[in-house]
Amino acid sequence: MTEAPHILLIDDEPSLREPLAEYLVGQGFAVTEAGDAARARSLMRDQRFSILLLDIMMPGEDGLSLCRHVAAQSEIPVILLTAKGEAMDRIIGLEIGADDYVVKPFDPRELVARIKTVLRRAARSPQALEDEVQGFEFDGWRLDTVKRRLIDPDGALVPISTAEFKLLLVFCEHAGHVLNRDQLLDLAHGREAHLFDRAIDNQISRLRKKVEADNRTPRLIKTVWGGGYTLAAKVRRLASTDTP
Amino acid sequence: MTLLQRLWPSSLAGRLLLTIALALLVGQLLNAALMVRAQREQAMDRVAAEAAVRLIAATDRLEQGRPLRERNFGRMGRAPGFRFRRTDLAPGSPVTPDMRPIPELVARLNEILPTYGVPYRKIEAVAVKAPPRARRVERLAAQIGGRSDNQVRELALIALQRSDGQWLSVRVPVAEASGRIVATIIAQTVLLYLVMLVPLVWLTRRIARSMGALRDGVAQFEQTQQAQPIEPSGPSDLVDLTRSFNAMSARISAMLNEKDVMLGAIGHDLKTPLAALRVRVESVPDERQRSRMVASIDDITRTLDDILSLARIGRTGEVAEPVNLVALVEMIADEYRDLGQDVELADCERIVAPLQFTWIRRALRNVIGNAVRYGARARISIARQNRAVAITIDDDGPGIADDQIERMFEPFTRLEASRNMATGGTGLGLTLARAIAHQHGGALTLANRRAADGTVEGLRAVLTLPVG
């Protein structure tokens, strides 16, 4: 077994920092605490950390400034802890180099899940990160995987649920392949999902309503008799340089 | 509205121009009246002069014992029209009470005649209608004499009682005020209008333009709540007003920014301990206790978020982007269906509107959520109306007393029966939804749905949003 990931937790508020550190240790992480940005900087000079959990609003140097510094100086991933929940934060956070963010008060289990996701992603080779897909394009439609949204051929945002987004993402990643319900469930929602097969049919029909011109005779998401479903369109991967 | 109100222009330039045009017209009319009067005076002077000359001549003749009319005058005396200028001597006055007296003529003659030593007891002057022939003759005389402004309709009859009691009378044609004067006045007015109104139109339009810039700036500020100084232009009053407005908007904007910072700090200061609590809750061993605590924390968070959102609305900097509104409503309907709620959505064509996506999603969630929560089910239809789209959400609930409906939009107002957390909601949902609708230039209204017999069948919420 490899060494436990080492988290540097930076928050000026001990009432949150201490129980959170305790909880994370309980979840199998090694945790070092810092009360402000200056302390964090000095800790980072001496030790190597796997990931930073960073509060945005701190007296002295704030979290955004430290985040920018870390993103520019090192490869250490950063998850921001923020009190604001507006969509803007996501964009700002990602633009200044943060890998993800959680909104206070967060579900600690969700925080752990995010930490694991970010660590998995960071473990990949730099080349893999370089090639990371920013989105997909099919038949004029654009699936933006960074902002997690679907844009129609006329440029209008088409709101879809998270489940529909995941399903469409699976279709884009496996364009041209026929996927049965089990495969779709696994790929879209993971093995732990407690979903019935019927739920997939339901999501497919909702998705068709949004992307098909006529959902009685689907042109994009086709049903294959006895097999399952397939995305019958030419799919183009968009790298970071392609996204407008 | 009266006719006057309808004709009265509403814009500043229109009112200014109309006022000036009317004042100018009144001035010109006065001018015309004065000119007509002056012309009449002149005509009277002429009549008085002619009458005086003939009366003096006649008096001289009578004193010299000569006949009143020369015999060798004969031919001329027979000439048409001449007799209208005749001079008569009679024992009684030719003036009858039905004739219109001309006192100003009497006054003039009373001044002239004594200076020439004409003795008389009494003098009378009246106007008599000229016979048609007289007009023709005068016209002829006018053409021959080159005078074109005379139009004879009246003769002045002047009777003088001599000291021997006999009446000496003369008839003198009275020149009418000529039509030329009216033409002159009209031409003058038109000229004045051109000379004055052209620069006035230019000036008022310039002022109106400056005011328009100010008005647009105010509207812009109202919409964005971001102070953008307006370039002062136009007359100094307007420049001062613009400067004052700029200062005021800057102050308001600064206050709002301060408020945002403060709210951000409050949000942070409350959410951090909440987050601490949320983390600590994980160590509570009793599953039931823990889930209740988590629910309470979620409730507090939701209320806090609603309050902060309401305070921050319109100031988040989220830009409007084209959103497929039908797909958005569909997505929210699906969310509630997944929770086992009864939500129907009528088929509708694709409608794209520029929206702040997360805000409108929130407004729709609040309104549709209310329908399923208090009204058992939601039936949604979307209809395009000219440049707007109306999203109608009907429920089958008990409705709301008509006098309570507007109160539902006030913050923290909830129907008494439901004032507990079991039904969820913070009492801010409709307040927030309406504020979001207004922020988009739309509206949110509530009304009871009634059956034909007047009983309430449920509540209808209509969210209207502008399209493009």
For A140-160, write each residue's pLDDT tens digit: 999 988 778 899 999 999 999
Helices vs strands, H then E, count in chain A: 9, 12
3-class secondary-structure state, position B410: coil
Question: Please, what is the Cα angle at B219 between B214 and B225, to 5 degrees?
Answer: 115
Contact by Cβ (8 Å): B44, B106: no
Is A210 in contact with B327 (Cβ distance < 8 A)? yes
Instruction: Assess A162–B contact: CB distance below 8 Å, yes or no.
Output: no
Q: How high is the mean pLDDT of chain B? A: 83
A244: contact with B, CB 8 A cutoff: no
> Helix A108-123 crosses helix A14-26 at what angle (to 10 degrees)?
70
Buried b (16+ CB within 10 A) or exposed e, B23-60: eeeeebeeebeebeeebeeebbeebbebbbebbeebbe
Distance CA B332, CA B354 (A): 18
Both tokens assigned to B131: 């016979």
> Could you tell me what percent of chain B has a pLDDT over 90?
22
Q: Domain of residue B329: give its range.
A: 318-466
How many H helices and E strands in chain B? 11, 12
CB count, 10 Å around CB of B339? 10
Specify if B260 maps to a domain: no
* Nearest residue, CB atoms, A106 vs list B267, B278, B330: B278
d(CA B290, CA B279): 11
Of B37, B34, B43, the closest CA to residue B188 belongs to: B34
Distances, alpha carbon B265 to alpha carbons A34, B261, B262, B294, in Å: 21, 6, 5, 23
Which residue of chain A is at minimal alpha-carbon distance from B349? A213
Assess if residue B448 is contained within a domain. Answer: yes
A-chain CB neighbours of B264 within 8 Å are 57, 83-84
Size of interface A-B (CB pairs under 8 A): 98
User: Does the residue B97 lie in any domain?
Assistant: yes
Q: Which of B272, B294, B305 sits opposite A85 (nearest CB)?
A: B305
Higher pLDDT, B355 or A182: B355
Question: Which is higher by pLDDT, A133 or B447?
Answer: B447
Which residues in chain A are closer than 8 Å to B301, comparing Cβ atoms? 105
Is the per-residue pLDDT at A66 higher than 70? yes
**Contact between residue A72 and residue A97 where contact means Cβ atoms under 8 Å apart:** yes
Chosen for mutation from B271, B299, B303 (greatest number of chain A CBs closer than 10 Å) is B271
Per-residue pLDDT, averaged over A113-138, amounts to 80
Band (pLDDT 50/70/90 cuts) for residue B80 is: very low
Q: Residue A8 has what pLDDT?
A: 95
Q: Tokens representing A36?
A: 């402000």
**Apex A184 CA angle, A179 and A186, nearest 5:** 130
pLDDT, one tens digit per residue, over B104-122 is 888 888 888 888 888 888 8
Residue for token pair 């420049």 = B239
A126: closest CA of chain B, how far (Å): 33
| Chain A contact present for B140, CB below 8 A | no
Selecting from A23, A161, A206 the residue whose C-beta is nearest the C-beta of B282 gives: A23
Residue B277: predicted pLDDT:
93
Establish whether the linkage from the previous residue to B80 is cis, with ω within 30° of 0.
no
User: Given this model, what pLDDT does residue A244 score?
Assistant: 43
How many Å lie between the alpha carbon of B267 and the closest alpha carbon of chain A? 6
pTM of the model: 0.63
Picking from B178, B195, B217, the residue at the C-terminal end of a domain is B178
* Nearest CB to B272 within list A84, A85, A104: A104
CB-CB neighbors (< 8 A) of B276 in chain A? 13, 15-16, 19-20
| Amino acid B415: pLDDT | 66
User: Quick one: residue B427, left, alpha or beta (phi over 0 = left, psi -120 to 50 = alpha)?
Assistant: left
The percentage of chain A sitting over the pLDDT mark of 70, rounded to a whole number, equals 85
Say yes or no to pLDDT of A241 above 60: no
Nearest residue on chain B to A165, alpha-carbon basis = B331
pLDDT digits (tens, 9 = 90+) for A165-184: 989 999 998 888 888 888 88
How far does chain B reach from its first CA to its final CA, in angstroms? 35
Of A20, A88, A105, the CB nearest to B274: A105
DSSP secondary structure letters along B221-286: HHHH----PPPP-SSHHHHHHHHHHHHHHHHHHHHHHHHHHHHHHHHHHHHHHHHHHHHHHTT---
Q: φ, ψ for residue A2 (rounded to 5)?
A: -80, 165
A8-14 average pLDDT score: 92
Q: State the total domains in chain B.
A: 2
Distances (CA, A) of B27 to B23, B180, B196: 6, 19, 14
Q: Describe the strand order of the beta sheet including B100-101 as a list of residue ranges.
A: B87-90, B167-175, B152-161, B122-129, B100-101
Tell me how far CA of residue A139 lies from CA of A144, A206, A236, in angstroms: 14, 18, 9
In a domain, B103, yes or no: yes
Instruction: Answer yes or no: is B150 within a domain.
Output: yes
Residue B380, beta-bridge partner list: B345, B393
Distance in Å, alpha carbon of A179 to nearest chain B alpha carbon: 24
- Region of B297 (left: φ > 0; alpha: ψ -120 to 50; beta: rest) is alpha
Residue B456 lies in a domain: yes
CA distances from A1 to A4, A5, A119 (A): 9, 12, 16
Residues in B closer than 8 angstroms to A210, CB to CB, are: 324, 327, 330
Q: Is B207 helix (H, G, I), strand (E, B) or coil?
A: helix
DSSP string, A70-119: HHHH----EEEEES---HHHHHHHHHTT-SEEEESSPPHHHHHHHHHHHH
Whether residue B327 and residue A81 make contact (CB cut-off 8 A), yes or no, is no
User: Who wins on pLDDT, B80 or B60?
Assistant: B60
pLDDT in tens, B25-41: 898 888 888 888 888 88
User: B420 pLDDT exceeds 50?
Assistant: no
Indicate the residue of B273, B316, B322 with minimum beta-carbon distance to A88: B316
Question: With left for phi above 0 and alpha for psi between -120 and 50, is residue B100 left, alpha or beta?
Answer: beta
- A84 inside 8 A of chain B by CB: yes
Which CATH number goes with the domain that contains B426?
3.30.565.10
Closest CA to B321 of A235, A155, A231: A155
Residue at B326: amino acid letter: V
The band of A129, judged by pLDDT with boundaries at 50, 70 and 90, is: low
Q: Which band of pLDDT confidence, cut at 50, 70 and 90, is reported for residue A19? A: very high
Report the range of poorest mean pLDDT among B128-142, B247-261, B425-439: B128-142
What residue in A sits closest to B313 (Cα-Cα)? A86
Q: Is B321 close to A107, i.e. CB distance below 8 A?
A: no
Closest partner CB to B275 (pick from A104, A154, A159)? A104
The rounded mean pLDDT for chain A is 84
Record: contact A154-B301, CB cut-off 8 A: no
Verify whether the Cβ–Cβ distance A88 to B280 is below 8 Å: no
Complex-level ipTM: 0.79
Model confidence at B152, in pLDDT bands (50, 70, 90)?
Answer: low
- Identity of the residue in A88, A152, A209 whose CB atom sits nearest the CB atom of B318: A88
| Disruptive mutation site among B268, B315, B316, B351 for chain A (greatest number of A CBs within 10 Å) | B268
Boundary (domain end) residue, out of B128, B143, B178: B178
Contacts of B416 (CB under 8 A, 6+ apart): none
B303 touches chain A (CB under 8 A): no
- Which positions in chain B touch A108 (Cβ < 8 Å)? 278-279, 282
Decide if B113 is inside a domain.
Answer: yes
Is the pLDDT higher at B339 or at B87? B339
For residue range B274-309, list pLDDT tens digits in order.
999 999 998 899 999 999 999 999 888 888 888 888
Residue B191 lies in a domain: no
Two tokens, residue B332: 């929210």
For A17, the closest chain B residue by CA position comes to B276
- Whether residues B323 and A104 touch (CB distance < 8 A) is answered with no
Boundary (domain end) residue, out of B178, B207, B236: B178
